[in-house]
Chains A and B, each alone.
Chain A
Amino acid sequence: MSDQERAPAREPLWEVFIRSRRGLSHVHVGSVRAADGELALLSARDLYTRRAEGVSLWVVRSSDIHASDPDDKDMLFEPSLSKPYRHAGYYAIPEGLGHL
């Protein structure tokens, strides 16, 4: 019997996000394998908060994350770099108008 036939199904992968005491948003810190969300939270707590990093934990199934393709980087992000007229700061405020 080959190893492939005997290998048990792997537990799903979860991405871990932590908000630190002084932070405003959750930051990605790594991943854990766990059978379900509750166990994933416990594992994340044990593996990623040993040094008092955070006050809030999120775990998300990796398969639920839709990520942009690195090859599409130019198509998605370059246009906003080369069109300054899209930004309010590009425009000079006429005198006498005060604040906009």
Chain B
Amino acid sequence: MTAGTTRGPDIGSLLPTYLLRLGDDALILSQRMSQWYARAPRLEDDIALLNMALDYLGHARALLTMAGEREGRGRDEDSLAFLRPESDFVNAQLMELPNGDFGRTIARLTAVAIWHLALYEGLAQSADEALSAFAQKAVIECRYHAEYANLWLQRLAGGTSESARRMQAGIDYVWPFAGELFCADDTVAGLAEAGVVPDPAGLERRWLSAVTPLLRGHGLSCPAVSAGPAPGRSGRHLESFTPLIAEMQHLHRAHPGATW
């Protein structure tokens, strides 16, 4: 931007980046949660976790499709999901964390579901109609995710000494990664100024005011979290990201152009 101009943020170039972040969040989380398939502690929870993974897959499809369209480089949801290299994925690292035990899974789900409720309720007011419509639908599914996480948070924290220990350990492990969600770089700031996305500081406050009493109410301690570095948003991921991406992409890459 040259000095002296009064032109506002260039939404056209910022929005695809933002949509890609949300789309990658949903895609990677879906892929990671799917790893519970046939491994969950109970049949009912196997189906519940996979149902939620499918919800996230639906969000990913919508968001990546929108990102590809706005970007205008001819990339669709499949090419974005299956043909990008690891360093081009801009999901938050919170989403790629290995599932761990059921306690850690519920801890991550709690952080993510409450984040999505705040984010999507904010996006439902977006100046961008398509994004607003998407968020209004997605937030309904996220309410169920938050409810599921809440019920298990309560039962694990208030169950046996082992379940409480594992639940707290899950929170302690996952919480430091939540700071990345509140990253307020130029992309987010520009879009917030234009009324396309909610103000990140407001989202951070909403998230904190929701999770703190929630955890404490269940007898858990709540680690301090604040907006921090955002490595995932710059394409830097954990070691466990490599096998996740390989498993997700290899079939598509092995048979380019194949259809079922």
Contacts and interface: CB of A to CB of B under 8 A. Distances in A.
B233 to A, nearest CB: 33
Interface of A: 32-35, 38-39, 42-43, 45-47, 50
Interface string B41-56: 0101001100100000
B155 A47 contact: no
A87 B188 CA distance: 74
B48 A43 contact: yes
Nearest to A33: B44
Given A33-B44, A34-B44, A47-B44, A42 B147 contact: yes
Contact of B151 (A33, A42, A46, A50): A42
24 contacts: A32-B44, A33-B42, A33-B44, A34-B44, A35-B155, A38-B151, A39-B44, A39-B151, A39-B155, A42-B44, A42-B48, A42-B147, A42-B148, A42-B151, A43-B44, A43-B48, A45-B144, A46-B44, A46-B47, A46-B48, A46-B51, A47-B44, A47-B47, A50-B51
Given A38-B151, A42-B48, 15 more contacts: A32-B44, A33-B42, A33-B44, A34-B44, A35-B155, A39-B44, A39-B151, A39-B155, A42-B148, A43-B44, A45-B144, A46-B47, A46-B48, A46-B51, A50-B51
A34 B41 CA distance: 13
A38 B47 CA distance: 16
Interface of B: 42, 44, 47-48, 51, 144, 147-148, 151, 155
Nearest to B151: A38
Nearest to A45: B144
Main SS class of interface, B: helix
B195 to A, nearest CB: 35
Contacts of A38: 151
A35 B151 CA distance: 12
B164 to A, nearest CB: 16
B204 to A, nearest CB: 29
A89 B44 CA distance: 50
A56 to B, nearest CB: 16
Contacts of B51: 46, 50
A15 to B, nearest CB: 15
A78 to B, nearest CB: 41
Nearest to B49: A46
A65 B151 CA distance: 26
A72 to B, nearest CB: 34
A55 B48 CA distance: 18
Contacts of A47: 44, 47
Contacts of A43: 44, 48
A7 to B, nearest CB: 15
Contacts of A34: 44
